[in-house]
């Protein structure tokens, strides 16, 4: 899709370290029982630098209802957006899979949202191409031969001074939040709601921020967006929160100030990327993020059920009752998943996974699960083994930062942050085959309540989420742009039936200023007007009706 700046053919440049096969020293390693397979997409996996993933269950397609698994992996030379459909409840029963190649993409994040205007599920790919940031929107169609089709591409930033990380989270098929690092300006964010998109806004006070992450939380009332990033001037990781509806309504170009909840002074930058997550639905607005210094796997968290003060836990230090590995292992690329309730009755749980090596005979991915207050181990002692996640020799790697050297595979692991998948925690990670040096992209599926990789039972939705989906669906099929406008408004429509179409523009007092009437045909159509230059700057109401029934109301702003 994107032409490469320069095509490179790379081989692994560092030799393997010969060593006998050993087990994790001085502690037990719980054997996995999860389903797992290797799928490298449509391209060879010779190098890898990072991975993300996302999953949804019982999604309607031309194949029937399927479980949807999205992931990305590869290097900045060749990267892939990978999609897989399986029979519900059985991730090994693949009914369709494929991938799209991206060239020269440094960073990528995947997700999904229901587009209430078109009646399609949209698959989202946010990425940094060179120094700029983009969002690609794919339609999940009902076709069995071409089920994933690129619909549009949106440029989020341009002419930035240097590479900046981009991250995305999705909530219950209607909410989307994206954050990226715009060098020279600060962190920028954009939110979405069921196929509609808010404006690009800058987070105030983030001029020296790097490596951001974003996650949704929803306890009661409003849906919230959390941000975490490293502030170079403060020498600290900052966590902040903003109301999602406020972000959706914010005008373009505004410097928006989220509420800062925590400043975690750590001195120099972390040795890994910051990975933030929150429970999608929970009794409290809790959050947690992980990072490492190559020896400790740190988790910073707040648990409002026990205290209002954030705490930091080194999960491989032994404080949870597990055997410490600080003197034995170097650790890389920790990932974190925050669930919303476990089967033993506790109110929350935090899962952490990472790559550990003793630079000799033990090299692989391990994990654990702890309570939301960071005091108690929930998983079996001492560490959980991930399936097929160990190599007898150390494959080439290096630590943070990720982008300078493209010749080495670097360890990476990700958990799907959607805690509402009914069946599995989706996990991706990669390594290199010791014999062929071929990169291997692992897909593992840890079933809820499994003894070896313990999880949560599905949780009930808050009423706000169900209402939000219903309200969006009731006004399905209308999308007007640009907003703000100057002299023209274009409206894309998806009509569920034939009938009399009426669209009108009114001021905030209800006085009608413009009207359009026509016979509308079932399916997609478009209305456009270019005679609005005479309107005074301000806020107006655009209303669309079909056969006397309102199908859309939108506030629009005249510049």
What pLDDT shows up at residue 453? 54
Residue 285 lies in a domain: yes
**Unique residue bearing structure tokens 């974190």:** 336
Do residues 171 and 303 share a domain?
Answer: yes
DSSP structure string for 108-149: EEEEEEEETTTTEEEEEEEEEETTEEEEEEEEE-S-SSS-EE
Angle at alpha carbon of residue 498, lines to 495 and 504, rounded to 5°:
60
- Does residue 273 sit in the same domain as residue 421? yes
74 occurs within a structural domain:
no
What is the DSSP track for 65-94? EEEEEEEEEE-SSEEEEEEEEEETTEEEEE
Residues 426 and 550 grouped into a single domain: no
Comparing CA positions, the residue from 379, 320, 324 lying closest to residue 349 is: 379
- Residue 455 pLDDT more than 60? no
What token pair was written down for 60?
């309607």
Q: Looking at the domain assignment, is residue 62 inside a domain? A: no
Rg of the chain in Å (alpha carbons): 24
Task: Read off the pLDDT of residues 397-453 as tens digits, 9 standing for 90 and up.
Answer: 654 444 445 556 788 999 998 866 667 889 999 987 767 777 889 999 887 656 565
Residue 493 and residue 411 share a domain: no
Calculate the alpha carbon distances from 108 to 49, 82, 136, 187, 419 in Å.
11, 12, 11, 17, 21
* 381: DSSP letter: S
> Does 161 fall in a domain?
yes
Residue 21 lies in a domain: no
Q: Are residues 376 and 507 in the same domain?
A: no
Q: Over the stretch 139-192, which tens digit does the pLDDT of each residue have?
A: 999 999 999 999 999 999 987 778 899 999 999 999 999 999 999 899 999 999
pLDDT of residue 20: 29
Q: Are residues 488 and 440 in the same domain?
A: no
The pLDDT of residue 407: 59
Confidence band for 98, pLDDT divided at 50, 70 and 90 = very high
Q: 192 and 335 share a domain?
A: yes
Residues 257 and 393 in one domain: yes
Same-domain check for residues 427 and 481: no
* Complete edge-to-edge strand list for the sheet that includes strand 105-115: 105-115, 120-129, 132-140, 148-157
> How many structural domains compose the chain?
2
Residue 63 resides in a domain: no
Q: Does 256 map to a domain?
A: yes
Q: Are residues 434 and 485 in the same domain?
A: no
Confidence of residue 12 (pLDDT cuts 50, 70, 90): very low
Q: Is the pLDDT reported for residue 9 higher than 90? A: no
Residue 519 reports pLDDT greater than 80? yes
- Most confident range (mean pLDDT) of 266-270, 324-328, 381-385, 549-553 is 266-270
Q: Tens digit of pLDDT for each residue in 251-283?
A: 988 899 999 999 999 999 999 999 999 988 888
Q: How far apart are CA 444 and CA 437, in angstroms?
A: 21
**99-114 pLDDT per residue, tens:** 999 998 989 999 999 9
CATH of residue 286's domain is: 2.120.10.10
Residues 412 and 552 in one domain: no
- Which residue range(s) make up the domain with 174? 50-55+104-447
In a domain, 405, yes or no: yes
C-alpha to C-alpha distance for 333 and 272, rounded to whole angstroms: 6
Question: Is the N-terminal amide bond of 382 cis, ω within 30° of 0?
Answer: yes
The sheet with strand 297-302 has its strands ordered as 275-277, 287-292, 297-302, 311-314
Q: How long, in residues, is the chain?
A: 559
Are 324 and 282 members of one domain? yes
């Amino acid at each position: 899709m994107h032409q490469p700046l320069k095509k490179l053919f790379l081989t692994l440049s560092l030799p393997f370290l010969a060593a006998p096969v050993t087990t994790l020293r001085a502690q037990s390693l719980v054997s996995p029982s999860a389903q797992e397979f290797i799928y490298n997409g449509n391209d060879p996996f010779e190098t890898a630098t990072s991975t993300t993933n996302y999953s949804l269950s019982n999604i309607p397609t031309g194949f029937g209802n399927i479980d949807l698994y999205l992931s990305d992996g590869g290097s900045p030379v060749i990267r892939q957006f990978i999609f897989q459909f399986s029979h519900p409840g059985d991730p090994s029963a693949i009914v369709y899979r494929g991938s799209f190649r991206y060239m020269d993409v440094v960073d990528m994040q995947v997700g999904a949202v229901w587009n209430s205007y078109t009646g399609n599920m949209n698959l989202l790919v946010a990425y940094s191409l060179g120094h700029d940031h983009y969002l690609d929107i794919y339609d999940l169609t009902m076709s069995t031969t071409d089920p994933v089709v690129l619909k549009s591409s949106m440029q989020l930033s341009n002419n930035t001074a240097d590479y900046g990380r981009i991250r995305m989270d999705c909530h219950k098929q209607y909410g989307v939040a994206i954050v990226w690092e715009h060098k020279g300006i600060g962190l920028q964010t954009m939110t979405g709601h069921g196929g509609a998109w808010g404006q690009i806004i800058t987070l105030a006070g983030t001029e020296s921020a790097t490596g951001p992450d974003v996650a949704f939380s929803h306890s009661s009332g409003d849906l919230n967006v959390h941000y975490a990033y490293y502030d170079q001037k403060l020498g600290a990781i900052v966590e902040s929160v903003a109301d999602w509806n406020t972000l959706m309504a914010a005008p373009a170009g505004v410097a928006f100030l989220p509420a800062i909840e925590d400043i975690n002074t750590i001195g120099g930058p972390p040795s890994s990327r910051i990975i933030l997550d929150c429970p999608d639905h929970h009794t409290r607005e809790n959050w947690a993020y992980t990072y490492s210094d190559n020896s400790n796997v740190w988790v910073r968290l707040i648990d409002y059920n026990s205290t209002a003060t954030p705490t930091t836990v080194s999960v491989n230090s032994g404080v949870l009752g597990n055997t410490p590995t600080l003197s034995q292992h170097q650790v890389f690329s920790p990932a974190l998943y925050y669930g919303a309730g476990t089967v033993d009755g506790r109110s929350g749980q935090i899962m952490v996974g990472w790559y550990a090596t003793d630079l000799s005979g033990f090299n692989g991915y391990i994990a654990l699960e702890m309570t939301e207050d960071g005091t108690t181990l929930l998983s079996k002692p001492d560490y959980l083994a991930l399936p097929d996640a160990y190599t007898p020799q150390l494959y080439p790697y290096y630590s943070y930062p990720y982008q300078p050297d493209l010749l080495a595979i670097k360890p990476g692991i990700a958990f799907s942050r959607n805690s509402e998948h009914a069946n599995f925690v989706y996990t991706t990670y990669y390594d290199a085959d010791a014999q062929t040096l071929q990169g291997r992209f692992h897909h593992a599926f840890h079933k809820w309540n499994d003894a070896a990789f313990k999880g949560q039972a599905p949780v009930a939705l808050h009423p706000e989420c169900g209402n939000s989906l219903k309200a969006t669906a009731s006004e399905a099929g209308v999308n007007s742009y640009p907003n703000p406008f100057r002299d023209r408004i274009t409206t894309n429509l998806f009509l569920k039936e034939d009938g009399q179409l009426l669209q009108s523009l009114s001021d905030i007092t209800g006085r009608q200023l413009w009207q359009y009437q026509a016979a509308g045909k079932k399916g997609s159509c478009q209305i456009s007007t270019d005679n609005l230059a005479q309107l005074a700057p301000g806020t107006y109401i655009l209303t669309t009706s079909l056969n006397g029934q309102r199908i859309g109301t939108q506030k629009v702003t005249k510049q």
